[in-house]
A and B are shown apart, each in its own frame.
Chain A
Amino acid sequence: MDRNFSEEVAHVSRLARLELGQDEKEQMAGQLQSILGIAKKIQELDTSGVEPTSHVINLPAVLRDDEVRPSLPVEQVLQNSPKRNKDYFQVPRITAVD
């Protein structure tokens, strides 16, 4: 396996907070290599003068009026909270300093 792709998988999985086993890493590196290979192939096309497409629907965004609507009851908001503290979500400490 290409070392570059292994590093890339390590980097991306860290950003995505995914813990991968060694076999998964190898599998992902292979898949990533082939996906990027296709992207590279596409990049060979001459697209100068073609506006990049970010959306397939060629319409502008719709706007709504600035009116307040009812929100969810707080019980429902916190329903999926892994750890609740009063009416807050509780999360582990965030930043470390050295």
Chain B
Amino acid sequence: MGRYETVIGLEIHVELQTASKLFCGCSARFGSEPNTNCCPVCLGLPGSLPVFNRRAIELAVTAALALNSEVQDKSRFDRKNYFYPDLPKAYQVSQYDQPLAKGGFLEFRDENKSRLVNLERVHLEEEAGKLIHAGESILDAEYSLVDYNRAGIPLLEIVTKPDLRSGSEARLFLENLRLLLLYAGISDCKMEEGSLRCDANISLRLTGSQELGTKAEVKNMNSFKAVEAALNYEAVRQEKILNAGGKVDQETCHWNEETKETIPLRGKEGSSDYRYFPEPDLLPLVIDKSLINKLTALLPESPLQRYQRLQEQYGLAESEVQLFIENRELGDYFESAAKKYSNYHNLANWVQGDLLFQLRECGCRLDQLLPDHLVEILDLLDSGEINRPVAKELLAESLRAGSSPRDLVAKKNLGRIADRDQLLPLVNQVIAENPEAVENFMLGKDKAIAFLVGKVMALSGGRADPGELNQLFRELLKKKNGCEANGTS
């Protein structure tokens, strides 16, 4: 165990998936032309009044429920005052001492162990506008451009307790949080579009100590990988300071993706003096029991529940379950096919193997192949009506054409050939064309048979019955051998 223990708490912001903004009817769509989704309310023009978006409230409550956070029957909105150009009103409507929900936890799997990270709170606030810095970065920008399309989009803030102990653990937590929010339909959670963001507080303390050290706040981490890298970097930086007998400054740092280091930001506003006060334009938000009951009933299965269910119901391997959890659509596909096909292991193999491969090959979408059609292919294969290479071909073909594999087999004549009368001409042709392999077999090299069978398979477009071929070759070559032996004696 190291001399120091790393203590990390995260603050996660996610944009809720609504059509309109939190307090006005402006579109919440990403990627509109700059400043086209703005109105007097979200620009903070005098005389305008905010009105809550019901959907935003429901999504926020749903998220809180999914996170086991205790939704408060009455919560309040406050003004967080600070000057920054992305904030047209010079305050952000947020929640201070009466948040939407208190406490909570997220449980997830860390390898084979179960891990639980506690939450401080979940609250709702409005998104700020977007700043585009002219120049290399915020640090050397000559000026900045502001787009207020984003200002006023509903934003959920999730704050963890200082329960995380490393950069990799923080990353794992975020990956699992993202999945949970995706499953519950809260947000599209796209870090690259900024709909999911994460800031971190990190400090070190002597291992075994309960007291928290001085923390630094790290911002500007634009991917989960960056969160891990930034926190690892920052932990080492603080350790060096402490080891040298120094003190860590309480400060805010920016993660620099280029140089892979954290840079302290100075000249920040009288730091935490936000002079919160109750937002006079909004009445308290009351969440009644009936809404909570309704939303609880609508809560979808969580990734963890799904993990356990997939493992129990289908007996799949861990890697398969993990894939079906992370790729929810693929997991749904598997389950849909599994209703009609009971060799789950084989089905999972095909879904994660040949199906994924073919999807990539043709750039197709999963919904272009009905689960029923995949089952049809597997049934044809299991009953011996087609061979494995044909099955793969059929999969590609059905995906492109969208037609039934059974129809394709009939139409394109892809069924297995097991009939000796049909196989015999091919077998004779191969024997005639490959004297060396025939010779080898005669000399006792049994492997030569596989070569000859392969040749017929190729000639038949993968349709010939390999078992039948094997037998046929042996019979014919034995006969031939016998003749030759007789002839020479």
Contacts and interface: CB of A to CB of B under 8 A. Distances in A.
A93 B144 contact: yes
A66 B56 contact: yes
Interface in B104-153: 131-133, 138-139, 141-148
Interface string A74-94: 100110000001111111111
B55 A66 contact: yes
Interface residues of A, number: 38
Given A64-B51, A66-B53, A94 B141 contact: yes
A23 interface: no
A73 to B, nearest CB: 8
A35 to B, nearest CB: 15
Which of A59, A60, A68, A98 has the largest count of B CB atoms less than 10 A from its CB? A68
A15 B275 contact: yes
A93 B145 contact: no
B143 A90 contact: yes
B461 interface: no
B357 to A, nearest CB: 40
Contacts of A72: 38-40, 43
Interface residues of B, number: 59
B85 to A, nearest CB: 4
Contact of A67 (B20, B43, B265, B284): B20
Contacts of B139: 95, 97
Contact of A87 (B35, B74, B83, B143): B35
A39 interface: no
B283 A87 contact: no
B146 A89 contact: yes
A38 interface: no
Given A61-B284, A62-B52, A66-B56, A88 B147 contact: yes
B52 A64 contact: yes
B288 to A, nearest CB: 9
Given A74-B35, A97-B265, A88 B132 contact: yes
Interface in A10-64: 11, 14-15, 17, 54-55, 57, 59-64
Contacts of B286: 60-61
A23 B193 CA distance: 50
Contacts of B144: 90-94
Contacts of B39: 69, 71-72
A92 to B, nearest CB: 6
B26 A89 contact: no
B43 A77 contact: yes
Given A71-B27, A90-B145, A97-B139, A61 B283 contact: yes
B52 A63 contact: yes
A53 to B, nearest CB: 9
B263 A97 contact: yes
B12 interface: no
A86 B145 CA distance: 9
A23 to B, nearest CB: 24
B235 to A, nearest CB: 22
A54 B146 contact: no
A14 B268 CA distance: 12
Interface in B278-319: 278, 280, 282-286
A66 B284 contact: no
Contacts of B19: 66-68
B145 A68 contact: no
A63 B154 CA distance: 14
A98 B267 CA distance: 9
A71 B26 CA distance: 6
B234 to A, nearest CB: 17
A59 B144 CA distance: 42
Contacts of B273: 11, 15
Given A62-B52, A92-B143, A94-B144, A55 B283 contact: yes
B270 interface: yes
A1 interface: no
Contacts of A15: 81, 269-270, 273, 275
A76 to B, nearest CB: 9
Contact of B54 (A59, A64, A89, A98): A64
9 contacts: A60-B74, A61-B282, A64-B53, A66-B18, A66-B20, A74-B38, A91-B145, A93-B144, A95-B267
Q: Which 7 pairs across A and B sit closest by C-beta, in order of nearness?
A: A69-B25, A66-B55, A60-B286, A88-B145, A54-B278, A63-B54, A96-B267
Interface of A: 11, 14-15, 17, 54-55, 57, 59-72, 74, 77-78, 85-98
